Structure 1
Amino acid sequence: MKELTTLKLAQKCQGKLIGINQIVNGKFNILKDAGKGDMVVRHWIDETGVEIASRNGASCIITQNTRGNALQIAEKFKIPIILTERIELINALAIRWALETYAPNTLRIVVTGTNGKSTTTHMIHTILKEAGYTAHTNTDSESEFNTLIDPMVAKQIAEFEGDLEAVVLEVSEVQGWDDRNMEDHAHLMTRAIQPQVVVLTNVALDHIGLVNSLEEASREISSALKGFKGDCVVLNHDDPLIRDMQSMVPSTSKVVFYGSRTNVEFRKEGIFFQGKLLIPLEDLPFKSPHFIQNTLAAVSTALALKITPEVIRRAVSSYQPLKRRFTVLGTDPLIIDDFAHNPEGIKATIKSAAGLASGKFHLVCAIRGSRGESLNQLNAQAVAKSIKEVKYNLIITSSQDVVDNANWVKPSEKKVFIEVLQKEGINYIHYDTLIEALKKALKSAKNNETILLIGAQGMDPASDVLQNIT
């Protein structure tokens, strides 16, 4: 990429340069870690932030919103500010710039879809490392770096120690910020990464308000294929909306399907490749349907990359899942913790966990805070539908003791969740705090029974809270 200046950065993100046009020679960075010459990317900044950036020697600040006396302080310290209404444009540029500057010859893989992105990305990364690649991924246990709406991935690539041979990047299928839909997010970020391989997992409803139908979700996910010039696209044959995206793949690229009636499928004995047993059932870390789907996606991707079956088998059998992906926190009673946070994930996880239950099935579900009434209504319907045929004990919580303002459960969200349960005839207990909900579950469950913890931010601290209780 050609030399960057503050004026070029402003043009690239459709922004306005306030201050001088000058050459920038650092990396894209977050405010607290910025060094000399770095380009600070931040959704908003105030006068204190400008002072920190100036003190650290940053070359410029790119932001959507200046607060307080930020502009006056920037003028005083002679640090240029670029104001943009689309911060995602600069973050896409940051990723592309980091890859071209620090890892120009890498194998690049993008994984997107509604569910299973994190586990699929993490498992592909594990297989690549087993195969001898020096590889990096943006997937972490709390999914903090997979949104690509801040410069963390560009920063991580720039700071990677050693020669980077491969990157596996999870791309959120849709994204928003401050009540604004970041249109065409999957396409924008995938185009910036310029991957040789794109993996599409499934289409379901999650981010209600950003997308409001399966058709909209499908359109956003399939946008990752617009202008694709890579070698291979890996598609979930069991999802009809993903399967139909084959028509969008250019003729110069190979299509690889996974799932039922494909070369890579699951049967009761395990995972098969071209009709031969590749990974026996006993070697799979988890046997739940959604985990198996993620494993099929990862295995298909690895096979498409010509990684040997033995390496794949070894990597999968020794795979250590991400935190909160059907994680066992205790055995007497059996306590399972899962990130299930949208309707499809909830149904799949409850089905898997309920099948393990001996006696009563105890479900502790965190209501999703500040995500709107529609998603919480759908989540409650998924819970109600999934536990009707089970001998259950349902506990719901607003997790007021562990969430911040961005994840606070609003009265309308709690109301709609409870109304669905009442309409469906589901008995429940609600607790405002997570610690009360977990104490009740532990007190209610016998040693031979199962407790399942599900939810996003409201359930994230559950393992720590449980440790404090016990």
Structure 2
Amino acid sequence: MKGLNTAYLAKKSEGKLIGEDRIITGIFNILKDAGEGDVVVRHWIDETGLKMASDKGASCVVTQDARGNAIEIAKKIDLPLILTERIEITNAFAIGWAIKKFTPNTIRIVVTGTNGKSTTTHMIHTILLEAGLTSHTNTDSESEFNTLIDPMAAKQIAEFEGDLDALVLEVSEVQGWDDRNMVDHAHLMTSAINPQLVVLTNVAMDHVGLVNTIEDASKEISGSLRGFKGQAVILNYDDPLIREMEKLVPDAEVIFYGSGTNVEFREGGIYHKKQLLIPLANLPFKSPHFIQNTLAAVSTGIALKIDSEIIKRAVESYQALKRRFTILKQNPLIIDDFAHNPDGIKATIKSAIELTSGNFHLVCAIRGSRGNSLNQLNAQAVADSVKEIDFNLILTSSEDVVDNANWVKPLEKKIFIEVLQKEGINYTHYKTLADALKNALMSAKNNDTILLIGAQGMDPASDILRYTGDI
């Protein structure tokens, strides 16, 4: 890390350096994996964590919460400690530094928006690989590395073996920590990445509490375009708020995808300039939200001048991320989806109903520790989606599989259920995910459909079903 020292890093982190100015010789890292000369970045750290960092030979530690006697211990063991009020500033600096040092000539693509970021990012990554490029993405099935509020992306770039041609990075539209809104998160991280392309998916409500209106969500997402100096932005024409963001980039090329654009979906499949590119029968998934993600990825491939046959081949052979409308079993049809906000819930239920030939069973994990407002909106989305059909609704608090950070609080459960009762929606609630799944399977016949939806509370469902031999 030539030329970087703790005093400079403290300044870039808008923080205070406790200890001596020291040359930094490693990379940005998490505590568990830290090595000689590394910068350990943690939201909080205590005396034990500091001693671990020192034992590992870290150059310094950056945190926004030094707990207990951490400051005194840092002085005692002579480990520079940087205190910042906004740890995300350090992580933005880290990813920008890693790109400049290890991959300065890469094609860099940022994908942000409320829904579909992970699938869009992963599909673009797949197209690049099919084109013979060496690509890296921070998107994974559990969404562990795509928040950019820790140094994982910077670490992965620094540790990548071989030369990189491209980076496809998902950026959260909003982010928070300990009930603190990380204001302007999308702008901060996108600016650090300095991409040639920015892809925007849609604007919807998800992180209620971090943003409280659709206008707030739109403002945060549009921050990714502020000061953009890259090649092109790729916008969803079918989302009016995204469409309006064209005005924010007067000096950049704007590429729209969606109805009436050069890349659109029609009855026969995906068309480019009115020519059929990918027949409907060849799309691996045909749900509306997957098609929107595919249009975004195809438009990105075209913007990068990748041959249309390569794009077609990549899409047709695409293997979706885990829990993105994943078919777990055929008889009965069991579908598992990460639907975790109102728009995602409505779209996923609609797509599953279209595949249903028998009875429809919906198993929904209530979102734990995400607040009352989001659970109220999610419950309303469920109610609106099933009220006109025959259904069997099973709710779960997933108490057997979630940790404290995802525990369903009594008021969250109460509000969710009150919405259903107000709408006259019948339901059964189980404390554990295992019981909810067991009862769904006991109720279903071979020609029925069971849809599993939810975030962390539903993540272990496929493992439970495999353990019990049901899939």
**TM-score > 0.5, shorter chain as reference:** yes
Counterpart CA distance in 1 for 2:30 and 2:250 is 37
Cα pair 1:368 1:458 within 8 Å, conserved: yes
3-state SS of the aligned residue for 2:362?
strand
Report what 1:122 is aligned to: 122
Counterpart CA distance in 2 for 1:343 and 1:51 is 44
Counterpart CA distance in 2 for 1:173 and 1:75 is 38
Counterpart CA distance in 1 for 2:121 and 2:467 is 32
Counterpart CA distance in 2 for 1:444 and 1:244 is 47
Counterpart CA distance in 2 for 1:468 and 1:194 is 45
Report the alpha carbon displacement of residue 125 of structure 1 after superposing the two structures with TM: 0.1
Report what 1:92 is aligned to: 92
Q: Which moved more, 1:354-363 or 1:215-224?
A: 354-363
Report what 1:81 is aligned to: 81
Report what 2:43 is aligned to: 43
1:106-153 per-residue CA deviation (whole Å, 9 max, x = no partner) reads: 000000000000000000000000001100000000111111000000
Read off the aligned partner of 1:254 and give its amino acid letter.
E
Counterpart CA distance in 2 for 1:445 and 1:226 is 51
3-state SS of the aligned residue for 2:278?
strand
Report the alpha carbon displacement of residue 250 of structure 1 after superposing the two structures with TM: 2.9
Cα pair 1:354 1:390 within 8 Å, conserved: no
Cα pair 1:359 1:391 within 8 Å, conserved: no
Report the alpha carbon displacement of residue 70 of structure 1 after superposing the two structures with TM: 1.7
Report the alpha carbon displacement of residue 469 of structure 1 after superposing the two structures with TM: 2.2
Report the alpha carbon displacement of residue 282 of structure 1 after superposing the two structures with TM: 1.2
Report what 1:346 is aligned to: 345
Q: Which moved more, 1:63-72 or 1:118-127?
A: 63-72
Report what 1:143 is aligned to: 143
Q: Which residues of structure 2 form unaligned runs of 5+?
A: none
Report the alpha carbon displacement of residue 25 of structure 1 after superposing the two structures with TM: 1.4
Q: Which residues of structure 1 form unaligned runs of 5+?
A: none
Counterpart CA distance in 2 for 1:32 and 1:393 is 44
Cα pair 1:203 1:221 within 8 Å, conserved: yes
Report the alpha carbon displacement of residue 68 of structure 1 after superposing the two structures with TM: 2.1
Counterpart CA distance in 1 for 2:177 and 2:3 is 30
Report the alpha carbon displacement of residue 2 of structure 1 after superposing the two structures with TM: 7.3
1:201-260 per-residue CA deviation (whole Å, 9 max, x = no partner) reads: 000000000001110000000000000000000000000000000000132x11000000
Report what 1:402 is aligned to: 401
> What percent of counterpart residues are identical?
74
Alignment of 1:217-296 (within 5 A): 217-251=217-251, 253-296=252-295
Counterpart CA distance in 1 for 2:70 and 2:114 is 38
Report what 2:53 is aligned to: 53
3-state SS of the aligned residue for 1:123?
helix
TM-score with structure 2 setting the length: 0.99
Report what 1:309 is aligned to: 308
1:352-411 per-residue CA deviation (whole Å, 9 max, x = no partner) reads: 001111121000000000000000000000000001122100000000000000000000
Cα pair 1:439 1:469 within 8 Å, conserved: no
Report what 1:430 is aligned to: 429
Number of residue-to-residue matches in the alignment: 469
3-state SS of the aligned residue for 2:54?
helix
3-state SS of the aligned residue for 1:66?
coil
Counterpart CA distance in 2 for 1:326 and 1:389 is 22
TM-score with structure 1 setting the length: 0.99
Report what 1:16 is aligned to: 16
3-state SS of the aligned residue for 2:270?
strand
Cα pair 1:120 1:294 within 8 Å, conserved: yes
Read off the aligned partner of 1:349 and give its amino acid letter.
T
Report what 1:162 is aligned to: 162
Q: Flag as ranges the 4+ runs of structure 1 deviating above 4 A.
A: none
3-state SS of the aligned residue for 2:340?
coil
Counterpart CA distance in 1 for 2:250 and 2:100 is 24
Report what 1:297 is aligned to: 296
3-state SS of the aligned residue for 2:65?
strand
Read off the aligned partner of 2:275 and give its amino acid letter.
K
Read off the aligned partner of 1:428 and give its amino acid letter.
Y
Given the alignment of the two structures, is residue 104 of structure 1 paired with residue 104 of structure 2, yes or no? yes
Alignment of 1:374-453 (within 5 A): 374-453=373-452
3-state SS of the aligned residue for 1:45?
coil
Read off the aligned partner of 1:342 and give its amino acid letter.
N
Counterpart CA distance in 1 for 2:217 and 2:44 is 28
Read off the aligned partner of 1:451 and give its amino acid letter.
I
Cα pair 1:43 1:64 within 8 Å, conserved: yes
Cα RMSD between the aligned structures?
0.8
Counterpart CA distance in 1 for 2:287 and 2:51 is 51
Counterpart CA distance in 2 for 1:362 and 1:466 is 16
Counterpart CA distance in 2 for 1:2 and 1:210 is 38
Read off the aligned partner of 1:430 and give its amino acid letter.
H
Cα pair 2:2 2:25 within 8 Å, conserved: no
Counterpart CA distance in 2 for 1:296 and 1:446 is 36
